[in-house]
A = this chain, B = another copy of it.
Amino acid sequence: MLRQELNELLTQTGPGSPMGALFRQYWIPALLAEELPEDDCPPVRVKILSERLIAFRDSDGRYGLIDEFCAHRGASLWFGRNEEGGLRCSYHGWKYDVTGQCLEVPSEPENSNFCSNVKLTAYPLVKVGDILWTYMGDPAKRPGLPEFEFAQVPAEQTFTSKRWQECNWLQALEGGIDSSHVSWLHSGALKTDPLFKGARGNQYNLNDRKPFFEVAEADGGLFVGARRNAEDGTYYWRITPWIMPSFTMVPPRGDHPVHGHFWVPIDDQNCWVYTFDYHPIRPLTEAERQAMMDGFGVHSENIPGTYRPARNKDNDYLMDREAQRRGEHYSGIKGIAIQDASLQESMGPVVDRTKERLVAADSGIIKARQKLRKAAIALRDQGATPPGVDPAHHRVRSAAVVLPREESFLEACRDAVTATPGVPQASV
Contacts and interface: CB of A to CB of B under 8 A. Distances in A.
A331 interface: yes
Nearest to A184: B93
Interface string A67-80: 00101111110111
B357 A71 contact: yes
Nearest to A52: B348
Given A74-B351, A184-B93, A184-B106, A79 B361 contact: no
Q: How large is the interface on A (under 10, 10 to 19, 20 to 34, 35 or more residues)?
A: 35 or more
Contact of A90 (B118, B184, B344, B348): B184
A73 B184 contact: no
A321 interface: yes
Contacts of A42: 321
A185 interface: yes
Nearest to A333: B79
Contacts of A353: 74
A321 B108 CA distance: 28
A364 B360 CA distance: 59
A60 interface: no
Contacts of A92: 180-181, 184-185, 361
Interface in A278-311: none
11 contacts: A71-B355, A72-B357, A74-B352, A75-B344, A79-B343, A81-B324, A90-B332, A90-B339, A92-B361, A107-B361, A108-B360
Give the 3 A-B residue pairs with the shortest CB-CB distance, closest first.
Answer: A76-B346, A90-B331, A107-B361
